[in-house]
Each structure stands twice: as structure tokens, then as C-alpha cells.
Amino acid sequence: MLLIRNFELRAESAYQQGKIGGFFHAYIGQEAIQTAAVQALGPNNWYATSYRCHALALLLGATPDELMAELYGRATGNAMGRGGSMHFFTERLLGGFGIVTGQVPISTGAGFTLKYKGIKDQVSICFMGDGAVPQGSFHESLNLASLWNLPCIYVVENNQWGMGTAVQRAVCVDRLAEDKAPGYNMKGYTFDGMDFFNCYAGFEHVFKEVLETQRPVLIEVVTERFKGHSISDPGLYRSKENLKQIMTKDPILAMQAVLTEQGILTEEQIKEMDKELREKVIASMQFADNSPWPDLQTLEEDVFAP
């Protein structure tokens, strides 16, 4: 979680210096969710997410060097400088997707592949924002996943806003998973996205359930993003008082409080860890700065899969 926070903050700084261009969607405030999911499920399942994909790539083994270089558009980047902020990937991350809900049918297809091949010890897990819920492909994917008994976990990270539209102005139910899941004949759960331990326990339970039943599950994780929808969004639809109150629920500070109270880590150890990770991310910025730009002669390479 500290690595994700440090990466996002330094990448934002680089964007403001003009070193990064294009779209940029930070995960600040939501770090507990995907951290808990990967800890509970492990790295050997199939993951997909939205354009807010920096955290999941880090959690699934991508290095700060390759990700920062990708943001800088350099040849040493995660996608050789071609994908940018919204399209990170790893061997188990099917990608960040620039289109709202674009990842949901793909993740459902991964679940179908697992069933088709008779693989019963893995699942396909798909992260999306609340803005994905009203989309047609959300409905189509969950309908087929239930109809075909696919081992899929659908996670709606409800950060209360789809760009600048409040969730209650876009979705007709109050509980995105518990109210909608029965319509697809699947179970629905709600987690506290600001509490790592609540998320971990929830994901651990759901993972075991899906492996046992080979049936899909829908999860809503109630969370808050501390920034605008993207780096170009000033977030004027939220008052300063509201944002200040939201930031008191910082999941990193909440986790640190538990770890220190339980005697697992001291405040000094946490500060030292934060310093080491900050230096690691700063080094990744230097790596990106020193990396070459892509050769124009390679522009048409890798357009089609072999």
C-alpha cells in the first residue's frame, strides 16, 4: 500500500512537470482493496481492471522502473512506451482497459476459459468502478457468467463518483452488489474499502466459495478516491469540507494504527519503510528519464498477435 501511494504521488508530480502526458487516473485512497485481494487470492489467478490500473500492476509483479518508464513513454516501459497510464499488464493481469466496462467481458471470457479447460483451482477476478454498473456489457457479462456457471469474481469499487456523476444519480439501487446480484442468481457481498482487514477477510471467504461452487459472485467495495476522476479533474463537485472528512478515513493510516497498536511494527519502522519505498520510486523516475525513446521504425511492430 505504501509503494502504491508513493508511486502515484511521484507519478503525479512527474505529470505536473510535463514528463508524463495523456490520461492519468490515480488510485490514491483505494489502496486497501486490490492489496487485500491479491494477498487473499495470490498471484496465480487471472486479473483484469479499468484504466485505474497502476496499483494492480505493481501488486502483480510489475516493477516501478518499467511502469514509470511506460508513463514517460520510453522504450523500456511495461508496454514499450505504447500503452501509457491506462494499459499496464503483467502475465496475470490481462490489462488495464481505457473503455469503461471494457474489461468485464474479457474477464468473463477468462472465466469461460478456466471452465472449458477444466481448471478448478483458479478464478477470474475483475475490478471496475461504479460507473461500469449501468453499462450494457456489465449486464451481459454477469448474465452469461451465471448462466454458464463461470468461476468469476466481479468487484465494483464504489468510490461514489463516475467521473463527476454521483453514483445515486446513475444507478437505481442503493447496494450495488447485494441488490443487483439476486437478479443474476448469484451472491452479493459488501466490503469496507477503507479497511484492509475487512477486505482481506471478505476476499478470502469469496475466493474459497467460488473455488468450491464454481459459480460467480458480485462484490461491492465501498471506498473513496482522494483525488479527482483523473489528474485533469479538479473535483469541484465535492466540497473542501467533504474531502477533508473523507481523508480522515485514509486506509494506510488505519492499517498503520492497527499494526502499531498490536506491536507488529513501530512508527519508526513504518517511517523507514516509507522512506525506502519513496527512494525506490524516485529511482524509477531517474530510470525513466535516462531511458531511450521508442525507435520510430518499430511503430508498426506488435500491432497483431502472432
Q: Domain ranges for the chain, please list them.
A: 27-274
Residue 225 falls in which region: left (phi positive, over 0), alpha (psi -120 to 50) or beta: beta
Is the confidence at residue 204, as pLDDT, over 80? Answer: yes
pLDDT digits (tens, 9 = 90+) for 221-241: 999 999 889 998 888 888 889
Is the confidence at residue 50, as pLDDT, over 90? Answer: yes
Distances (CA, A) of 300 to 71, 274, 291, 303, 304: 20, 41, 21, 6, 9
pLDDT confidence bin for 31, thresholds 50/70/90: very high
pLDDT confidence bin for 126, thresholds 50/70/90: very high
d(CA 179, CA 7): 36
User: Which amino acid makes up residue 133?
Assistant: V
pLDDT confidence bin for 189, thresholds 50/70/90: very high
User: What CATH number has the domain spanning 27-274?
Assistant: 3.40.50.970
- In this predicted structure, what is the pLDDT of residue 71? 98
Average pLDDT, the chain: 96
- In this predicted structure, what is the pLDDT of residue 91? 97
- In this predicted structure, what is the pLDDT of residue 235? 87
- In this predicted structure, what is the pLDDT of residue 239? 87
Give bridge partners of residue 96 from the DSSP assignment: 49
Backbone angles phi, psi at 124, to 5 degrees: -110, 125
Give bridge partners of residue 189 from the DSSP assignment: 219
Q: What angle do CA 277, 124, 219 make, to 5 degrees?
A: 80
d(CA 232, CA 241): 21
- In this predicted structure, what is the pLDDT of residue 280? 98
Backbone angles phi, psi at 164, to 5 degrees: -110, 10
pLDDT digits (tens, 9 = 90+) for 266-280: 999 999 999 999 999
d(CA 224, CA 120): 34
Is the confidence at residue 306, as pLDDT, over 80? Answer: no
Strand 161-162 with 165-166, pairing: antiparallel
- In this predicted structure, what is the pLDDT of residue 302? 84
- In this predicted structure, what is the pLDDT of residue 305? 78
> Which spans in 117-220 are helix H?
136-147, 196-213
- In this predicted structure, what is the pLDDT of residue 234? 86
pLDDT digits (tens, 9 = 90+) for 131-174: 999 999 999 999 999 999 999 999 999 998 889 888 998 899 99
Q: Give the chain's end-to-end CA distance (angstroms, integer).
A: 36
Q: Which three cell numbers stand for residue 232?
A: 485533469
